[in-house]
Each structure stands twice: as C-alpha cells, then as structure tokens.
C-alpha cells in the first residue's frame, strides 16, 4: 500500500521555519501541524513567538475542501489564510505529553489527507517530530512521588550529574536549565531502567516523509535570537508573564519554559530586568544549540539555505 506523503520542516528557534512553511503551504495546498511544545498553550503568545493569526470560526469554512461535519470539530488557527493545527489547543495548567501530541498529530494528518491537502509538520521540538515520523510506541511513565521528593532536595548541579551518570546522551538534549524537565528525565530513566532513547520504541513509519532542515550560520542565528528577545520585551512579554503568573502562578510546567521562568524570576524579585533579559538570550542560545544537536543526528534531514534547493527536493519527492 502506497504511503501518504508529508513534509517536515525542522531547525533551531529563529531559523526561519515559519516563513518557509507558509511558502510551501501556499505552493502545495498544505496545512501546517505545529510541532512545538509551547505554542500549544493558550495565552502564551509573545514568549513562544507564536505567529500572528486567529482561531477559525466554525461558521466560516474558507479553507480548502471542508465538509458540513467539520463544523462540529476543532477549528484550526489561521495564519495568513493558512490553517495551522497544534496552536492554542490547551490551557497552560493542562497536562500534555509526547504521546498526546503523537495521537493529536496522527489524527490531524489523517484529516488533512482526507481533504486532499498536504500535511506539513513544522517545529523545533525534536521529541514531537520523531514521535510522529518514527511512529514511536510510547509508554507513559507515571510520576514517582518518593523519587521526586528525593530529587527536589538536590541542587541543579547534582541533578545534572545524576542524569549524566544514568544517561550521558540525555544531558545533550534535555533542557538542564529547566529543573522540572531535568527531574522528569531522571524519573523516567531511573524508574524504567532504560535511557530516554530506549524508552522511545520505533515502529514502522506510516508516511513517506521529506525532511527539511533550516541551515543557518550560527552567528546570524544568535543575532536573530537576540533581536527576537528584544522584540518580545518591546511587545509586552513582561505584562504577558505577569498576567499568566496572576492566573496560574510560576510553578506549573508551562511557566518553567524559556521566556517565562526568566521573567518570573524578575517579577519575584530575584533578578533585575536587564539581567533577566540577558539570561533569556543566553538560555535561548543554549536551547538552539540543543535543538541542532538533536536534529544533526538524523541523516534523513536535507539541510537547506536557499529556496532553489527546496524546489529541487520537491520535484524529486513528488516525481
């Protein structure tokens, strides 16, 4: 049986994934599935660099090949008239796992294909991307309250060392500046007795995939990151975080991500604003480096810097 074709665009934050995905979607009658562990949260807009757009109304079916039954299901987030899925789908205090994303993405891919459109997965969250294209069989590891109590007593440095001893490779991909994610990684490894990679059981890929990676000079990438952070501050990131803090607090998982924990530290009086901004820039650069480390391991990715390279790959893919 012939597999359905999908396109995947990956790369570090601020590398130009959004612009390329919109161009491809227009060219190929595509709909975009966002593989980003942060833009799925409602109300977290500036700090996640969420693209400007709006939630489609069920009363308006301006996007392609929709049926009457589609009026009663979740509507996409529209960005420049291109349907996006995976944006604004849960509140910041709701849990959402890799397994949840895989189930969501598989369902959206099937729906998009049924309407004779092209699914385009776009994002920098490597776990989300690989869970879908490698058809991972994911076993949910329950929280271990006793182990967590023990780990909470340790410093960040001790936690990093403990993870490194149990799973050296994990230290290269886990956000070690995010204490919650660090503890969760240790919890998974020590509870299962397997590395993070071993906990990700690959199945047979359900799709024919063209993977594109954004190739960008590191110095230029860091300049873009610094510019993006300055723009976030100018657009009101502090007020956004303050509003979220008043509603949810800073302890929920969504608020420990980059862009939110640094501003929370400022609002709580631990940092001056200028120091929080510099820390945000530094942590974002480190995150981009981890993203590149993750994706560079995948030989299937075609690293592109010019659109002509993309066109050549598309011609071969759809031949």
Contact 160, 176 (CB under 8 A): yes
Q: Which two tokens stand for residue 23?
A: 């161009």
Q: Which residue ranges make up the annotated binding site for ATP?
A: 11-18
Write down the pLDDT at residue 261.
95
| Angle (deg, nearest 10), helices 156-166 and 179-192 | 30
Write down the pLDDT at residue 59.
46
Task: For the domain covering 220-288, report its CATH number.
Answer: 1.10.287.890
In the chain, domain spans: 4-137+203-216+294-317, 145-192, 220-288
Q: Which residue ranges make up the annotated binding site for substrate?
A: 13-18
Write down the pLDDT at residue 177.
75
Burial class of residue 122 (count of CB atoms within 10 Å of its CB; 0-12, 13-18, 19+): buried
Write down the pLDDT at residue 60.
47
The pTM (predicted TM-score) of the whole model is 0.87
Q: Which residue ranges make up the annotated binding site?
A: 11-18
Contact 206, 198 (CB under 8 A): no
Q: What are phi and psi of 17, to 5 degrees?
A: -60, -40
Write down the pLDDT at residue 286.
94
Q: What are phi and psi of 307, to 5 degrees?
A: -70, -25
Q: Which residues of the chain have pLDDT under 70?
A: 57-73, 139
DSSP assignment of the chain equals -PPEEEEEEE--TTSSHHHHHHHHHHHHTEEEEE--TTTTBTT--TTTTPPS-EEPPTT---STT--GGGGGSPPPEEETTEEEESSS-B-TTS---HHHHHHHHHHHHHHHHHTT-EEEEE-S-HHHHHHHHTT-B-PPPPP-HHHHHHHHTS-HHHHHHHHHHH-TTHHHHS-TT-HHHHHHHHHHHHHHSS-TTTTSB----SEEEEEEEE---HHHHHHHHHHHHHHHHHHTHHHHHHHHHHHH-S-SGGGGSTTTHHHHHHHTTSS-HHHHHHHHHHHHHHHHHHHHHHHHT-TTEEEESSHHHHHHHHHHHT-
pLDDT in tens, 154-178: 998 999 999 999 998 888 878 787 7
Q: Give the right CATH number for 4-137+203-216+294-317 from 3.40.50.300, 3.20.20.70, 1.10.1040.10, 3.30.1360.70.
A: 3.40.50.300
Rg (CA), the chain: 20
Write down the pLDDT at residue 6.
98
Write down the pLDDT at residue 171.
84
């Amino acid at each position: 049986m012939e597999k359905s074709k999908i396109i995947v665009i990956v790369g570090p934050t601020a590398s130009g994934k959004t612009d390329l995905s919109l161009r491809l979607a227009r060219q190929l009658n595509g709909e975009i599935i966002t593989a980003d562990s942060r833009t799925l949260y409602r109300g977290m807009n500036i700090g996640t660099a969420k693209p400007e757009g709006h939630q489609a109304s069920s009363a308006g079916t301006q996007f392609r090949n929709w049926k009457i039954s589609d009026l009663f299901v979740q509507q996409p987030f529209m960005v420049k008239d291109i349907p996006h899925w995976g944006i604004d789908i849960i509140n910041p205090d709701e849990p959402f796992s890799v397994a949840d994303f895989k189930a969501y993405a598989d369902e959206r891919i099937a729906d998009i294909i049924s309407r004779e459109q092209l699914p385009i997965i776009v994002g920098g969250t490597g776990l989300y991307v690989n869970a879908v294209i490698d058809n991972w069989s994911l076993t949910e590891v329950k929280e271990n309250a006793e182990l967590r109590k023990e780990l909470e007593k340790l410093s960040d440095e001790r936690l990093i060392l403990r993870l490194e001893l149990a799973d050296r490779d994990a230290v290269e991909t886990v956000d070690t500046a995010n204490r919650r994610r660090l503890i969760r990684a240790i919890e998974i490894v020590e509870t299962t007795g397997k590395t993070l990679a071993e906990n990700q059981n690959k199945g047979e890929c359900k799709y024919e995939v063209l993977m594109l990676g954004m190739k960008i000079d590191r110095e230029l990438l860091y300049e873009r990151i610094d510019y993006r952070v300055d723009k976030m501050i100018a657009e009101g990131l502090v007020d956004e975080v303050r509003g979220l803090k008043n509603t949810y607090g800073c302890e929920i998982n969504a608020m420990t991500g980059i862009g939110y924990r640094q501003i929370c530290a400022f609002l709580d009086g631990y940092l001056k604003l200028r120091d929080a901004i510099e820390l945000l820039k530094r942590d974002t650069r480190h995150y981009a480096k981890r993203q590149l480390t993750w994706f560079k391991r995948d030989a299937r990715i075609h690293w592109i810097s010019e659109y002509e390279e993309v066109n050549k790959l598309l011609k071969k893919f759809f031949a």
